[in-house]
């Protein structure tokens, strides 16, 4: 884009200098009537150059804007798919299964109490899962993902985990990720359809823990 602007500016400056030289050189050799004619010709030529340069610049700027928008859209789509692939990867499926078993075996206690009682190794899966949703929320907030795909790809299982885990085990703690999880819940509430939210809430209340890994 900078190169295009430089070329147009150089072309305009060169044309202006050439026309000015012709005009000044011609003025010393011609009569008054011819001077007015030459001045008018110079003015119309200059206007033509300015219009042509302006149109060329506008088209170049428009093309650059279109290419930039396409690049941003492609990056957002790729980031969304990356999030989804990671969430359904072998390691993440295993992690989600570990969280299910942990919650089933320990029906009481928030993240902090579970960590204090069971230790880092046994509670690591809790933090891996919650930090995934933290990253997803930050990506949405910074317009790094394709929002129209986030609801169908992540909404249902997020509602499940929020109902079974986050709302009772995490939200009461004074941790940074709690704010991210709350913002993500609010975002889904505002962007999902009423029909989807009703269906997700019903499934979260009725379905067994094992379905959260599907």
The secondary structure of 116-180 as a DSSP string is HHH-HHHHHHHHHHHHHHHHHHHHHHTT-S-HHHHHHHHHHHHHHHIIIIIHHHTTTS--HHHHH
If one compares 19 and 148, the residue with the highest pLDDT of the two is 148
Contact 155, 192 (CB under 8 A): yes
pLDDT band at 51 (very low <50, low <70, confident <90, very high): confident
Question: Is-contact 90 123, C-beta < 8 A?
Answer: no
pLDDT in tens, 168-210: 999 989 999 999 999 999 999 999 999 999 999 999 887 655 4
Helix/strand/coil for 89: coil
Residue 22, pLDDT score = 54
Distance set, CA 62 to CA 1, 59, 196 (Å): 10, 5, 39
CA angle 14, 20, 25 (to 5 degrees): 130
Picking from 146, 158, 174, the residue whose alpha carbon sits closest to that of residue 87 is: 158
pLDDT at residue number 131: 97
Q: How confident is the model at residue 70 (pLDDT cuts 50, 70, 90)?
A: confident
Phi/psi region, residue 186 (left: phi>0; alpha: psi -120 to 50; beta: rest), is alpha
Treating both helix axes as pointing N-terminal to C-terminal, what angle do 2-27 and 32-87 enclose, rounded to 10 degrees?
180
Long-range contacts of 75-79 (CB under 8 A, 24+ apart): 75/144, 76/143, 76/144, 76/145, 76/146, 77/146, 77/149, 79/139, 79/144, 79/145, 79/146
pLDDT tens digits, residue range 146-167? 999 999 999 999 999 999 999 9
CA atoms of 200 and 206, how far apart (whole Å) = 10
């Amino acid at each position: 884009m900078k190169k295009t602007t430089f070329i147009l500016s150089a072309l305009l400056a060169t044309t202006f200098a050439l026309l000015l030289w012709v005009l000044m050189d011609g003025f010393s050799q011609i009569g008054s009537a011819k001077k007015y004619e030459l001045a008018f010709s110079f003015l119309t030529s200059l206007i033509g150059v300015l219009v042509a340069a302006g149109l060329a610049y506008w088209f170049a700027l428009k093309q650059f804007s279109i290419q930039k928008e396409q690049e941003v859209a492609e990056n957002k789509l790729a980031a969304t798919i990356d999030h989804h692939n990671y969430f359904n990867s072998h390691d993440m499926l295993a992690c989600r299964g570990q969280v299910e078993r942990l919650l089933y075996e320990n029906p009481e206690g928030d993240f902090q109490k579970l960590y204090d009682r069971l230790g880092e190794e046994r509670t690591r899966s809790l933090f891996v899962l919650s930090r995934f949703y933290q990253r997803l929320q930050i990506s949405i907030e910074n317009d790094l993902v394709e929002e129209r795909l986030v609801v169908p790809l992540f909404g249902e299982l997020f509602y499940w985990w929020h109902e079974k885990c986050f709302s009772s085990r995490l939200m009461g703690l004074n941790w940074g990720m709690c704010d991210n999880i709350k913002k993500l819940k609010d975002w889904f509430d505002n962007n999902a359809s009423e029909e989807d939210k009703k269906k997700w809430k019903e499934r979260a209340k009725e379905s067994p823990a094992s379905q959260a890994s599907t």
